[in-house]
Structure 1
Amino acid sequence: MALLCLALGSACAHYRVQAPGAAGAGATEPKGEVLWSLAWGLVQERPRVDNCQDQALAEVTQSTNVGFALISVLTLGLAMPQQVEWRCAKAQPTPGDLGVRPVPPPETGEAP
């Protein structure tokens, strides 16, 4: 019984993709959901990323566990659940006017 609990408790996989540098520093707490891939990947759910307010993603993690693997095996791959979590990137400053007024060119004193 202990061996079964050990096997079930440790059998999971995690994959993480993170943007390099400062872009990879997440500004939000992780948010996620369970997504399903059906008919051997022909039909795939898309995550509803609604917390980033038009910012990029800083990090995405995909996880599976023994229960998800068991569902996949019992359905012969027809249904495959997986947990997907994401963090949004920090807001990037937009290029443009910084509020500094342009300096007029000096007058040369020449008549046109």
Structure 2
Amino acid sequence: MTKRAAAVLLWVGLSSGCAHYRVQAPGAAGASATEARSETLWSLGWGLVQERPRVDNCQDQALAEVTQSTNLGFALISVLTLGLAMPQQVEWRCAKAQPTPGDLGVLGAP
């Protein structure tokens, strides 16, 4: 095998080691109001212990979008530990505030 073919195979192997999963709310609920925040979470013991993201920037609003990503480094950690430790990158955006229904009253009333 030539050096060029080996380099191409190495590049293909390294570039194919990531995955992204994205969930977005439909319609107006999917319009994000905040910048993306992210955190690296770990699943330990084949999923028996799982970290949860600390979503503290939404001020009681819903989530508009959540993306979960993994890369070659995270995959290598998972393989080398036989699944005991599995990191992943989670990114989220908060939805815009929804107006609450209320009584507008009558204009000009005393």
Q: TM-score, normalised by structure 1?
A: 0.85
Q: Which runs of 4+ in 1 moved over 2 A?
A: 101-104
Give the C-alpha shift of residue 4 in structure 1. Answer: 1.2
| 1:21 corresponding residue in structure 2 | 27
Q: How far apart in 2 are the matches of 1:25 and 1:10?
A: 30
2:38 corresponds to which letter in structure 1? G
| 2:106 corresponding residue in structure 1 | 101
User: Which of the numbers 36, 41, 44 marks the counterpart of 1:30?
Assistant: 36
Structure 1 residue runs of 5 or longer lacking an equivalent are 105-112
| 2:94 corresponding residue in structure 1 | 88
Deviations 1:48-75 (A, max 9, x none): 1011011000000000011101100000
Matched positions, count? 103
Instruction: Give the SS at the match of 2:66.
Output: strand
Give the C-alpha shift of residue 103 in structure 1. Answer: 9.6
Structure number with bigger Rg: 1
Instruction: Give the SS at the match of 2:10.
Output: helix
Instruction: Give the SS at the match of 1:94.
Output: coil
